[in-house]
Structures are given as C-alpha cells and as structure tokens.
A and B are shown apart, each in its own frame.
Chain A
C-alpha cells in the first residue's frame, strides 16, 4: 500500500465528482431544497377551522339557519377547534363530501332531529362530528357536569420536519453512497479504465479504499450542510450527542458503500446498474420510515421492515436526534448496519469483475 497511490486515486475521485455539477446539485443542494420545502409545507399554523356544511332545502330555511347560528357562536367559546358553518343546497351534499370541502354535513330532519354525514376514515371528519355534536347538544340545553381546566403544550421536536430531517439525512447517505460507487465503478469498467488500472502495479485494495476515503470526505460535507441547515434554519433539535450521531452516519455510509460495491460488482453498463440500484433502494424508500413511521406497516412484515439497513439508520439517527438516545441505545441498529457492511463487502470482493 502506497500513500501516494491512495492520495492520487482519492484526489481523482474527488475531482471527478466536483467537476460534475449535476452530482453536486443532487448530493448537496437538492436535499436542502427538499427539507426547506417540507418545512414550509408543514410550518406552524393556527389550528385549522373545520368547515361544517349545513343543508338548507330552500334559501332562508329556519332549521338550517338556527343550526348555523349555533355553530357560528362557538368562535367565542373556548372549544378546541373553531367551527365554521356554511349553508349548502340539498343537491350538492354528495359533491361537498366527495371533494372534501367540508369535514361534515349536517342535515336538519323533521322534529328538530339532525343527521351527520362524514367519512370516519378522515380524522378531521371524526373531530368535526364530535365538536358539532357538542355545540348542538349544548344549544338545546345539555349541561356539562365536569369542570375542565386545559393546558396546551408545544414540545420542540414534535413537528413533521423534526420527524422528517433524520430520515432525509439517512436517505441521502444511502443514495449518495450507493450511487457514487455504482456509477463511478461501472463507468470505469465500461470504458475499460478499470482493466487499464488493473494492468498497473496499483493494488486492488488501494483502488477500493480510495472510494471509501472519498466517500467519507463527502459524507462529512453532506452531513455538515444538511445538519446545520436543519439545526440553524429549521430549528430541529439534536438531543443526543453529536459524536454518536456522526458515528451512526459513518457506519451507515460504510454499510451502504458496501451495498453499492455489491450492486456494481458485475454490471458492465450504467443502464444495468441503474436498474439494480433502484431495485435495491425502492423498497427502502417505502418501508424504512423516511416519510412516515415504519410502525404503520402490519405486524406480519415488521421483521422484514426492521431488518432493512435504511430502517436501522433512520431509526438510529431519529432516536439520537429527537429522543437523545445514547450510543448503547442504538447498538441494535449499529449491529444491523455492521452485518450488511461485512456480508456485502465479502460477497462483493469475491464476485467483483475487474475487467
């Protein structure tokens, strides 16, 4: 092993990457834009008004008007979600529910009774039904019997962007690790550059190590950019120790680097390796809990979901950032990533096509 060889190979990787503006964009700029966009979409807002559609068979219908008046009065009361009533003609009920422009439709029935129509699968439908029912019952004289004192809490780190940022970091580590190796190695193989390099005294270990080294440098940059954007611009908390978080990122990058090496160990064309790469990454985008919690999936497939390397990295980074988990607490995730690292590396080195 020669330091100069390793340095020159790593420098070459570095130069090739930084001279490819598109690669720089997708690795550094795009994740920041994505995080920024999602932060805007899920920014703090006043609790939303639920719109209640009240069916008025004819304009000026008295039953409908009195229901609407009772609902309108809630704005003053200290109810959780303020309601806003809207009168609609009878023939647009289906339309309103289908387009979701109202959370609940209230239909006055003869004899002062009412009918609620809503979709119980939508949380805002259930909440609107509850709130509307309370208002109407009280308006007809139902008395509350328990005295209630309310304390509302806003915990830092409970926003969607707080949940999403660790997932985005992990997904970015997966994507850049697998892609940078797969693309560079297969391109060199395709252009017979790999064959040319093997014909020199360069050792194969030096070649593979240069990828590891350049990945680590870029990983450091990626982490610095995305994490400081998250912490300083989006105010996402990092409750655990920074070294644990960075260590987690590095073992994740190493594991995905090994997966990238395995993916690119045989392919001769970039098209071929692109398909393989997508095949490997697609299930993890869906199942690994980047965008929503992986615990939403049925218990039957949980063993598979939890064994995915991205699930391990997402869960590990998320618990370090949001719950302040210690190194000991994320050891199971580190173990999963370690297994991928060792197994994929061993297989890749056995089957690697050097020419």
Chain B
C-alpha cells in the first residue's frame, strides 16, 4: 500500500455525448511526469476502457489536447509539477466540442468551420506556369508566415468564450487560417474568403478576449489575425466589394 503523499489525486471525466462524471484515480507520483503520462498510466494499470488520444507525445501533432485543471493544454507538454493544485489534477475533454468518449472530443465541427472560413488554398497557376516569386520579407508574406504553424489542435477553440456562446462563430483557428491565405499572393479565393469571414459567424464576432493567444502552444495569435480580417473586410465592404 503506497503512502498517499506519493500518489496524485486525479479526477478524469468519463462519459459520452449523453453525459458523464468525474472518476477518481490514485496515480503514483514520479520525479518527471507529464499529464499524458498520468492518463496513460491510468489506462494501462487501472482503467483499460478509458478513451483518450495521443500520437507523437513530443508536442508536434496536437492530438493530446485536453482540459487540465480547467485550462486547455497539450498534455504531453504539460509537466505535472507545473499544474498540480495541492495534490490534485482534473482532466477533461476539450471544451466547446461534443464528446465521443471520455477524453476524446469530436473534432468534426472544428474542421467543418475550417472549410466554412475558406481555409482551403485556391490555386491560380498550373505546372506549366512560371513559379510565382514570393519574397519572404514582404509584409504580406510575413503576416502569413506568422500564422501558418497551426496544427489544428483546437486549444484556441476550447479557450474561446465566443465559441461557447455563438454556435456559428467560425473560431480562432479557422479565421487565423483564412488570414494567412488572404495574405498569400498565390491564392485566388480572396472574394469568396472575404465573404466567408464577413457573415454571421465571421470575424466580427470576436471580442478580443485573447484566450486563443494566451493558450496557443505554438504561440500563434489568432486575435491579431482576426483584427487583420476585420480591417480587410471593413475596407472591402466600404468599397462595395462584398
């Protein structure tokens, strides 16, 4: 029987889309331990039916994103000692998304909104055309480059209260993507994209709470991108283009 101070007191949300509750587990404490280590230990030693996602376990894929003590984080890059609340940890599936099972959230609406924001590149050239020279130092390329490292982990989507309250809101990641494409001089979808982000669920619903940039593990800033979209769509509307 292990001394209780050597164990972590872990609450894990278990259930599915019809509801659920927190289950309690005692997990041995290690010197160096991530939240993903904790979840994996529970599934291997205590609860084989626990459902959760991970892939690279080194902070590159974004699959392991979950709510840890109420904040959205990559669990593989979250050390237990950094988030420990006394001896307690609370782990839940990402906010603002339906749950498939336990810690696995249904990402379908997140990707649907990526499409709705015209997150898809619209090509304008063929293999027979000359390569378009894109200068890496041009202002538009810099703006695009600042936002392209998004790996679709949905942490920003989970952090955003506008996503919580406005079901049509396209969300920080989709809008950030739209901004990078608006700034891509090779892309031919400008007008359809501006319309996509200027409608009811568009960029104008962002209240600049900046939860997205606070929690983005890649240090992206969707609020900055959305501010750019607001400027571009406002100008386009004033000029009668959309």
Query: Do A and B form a real pair?
Result: no
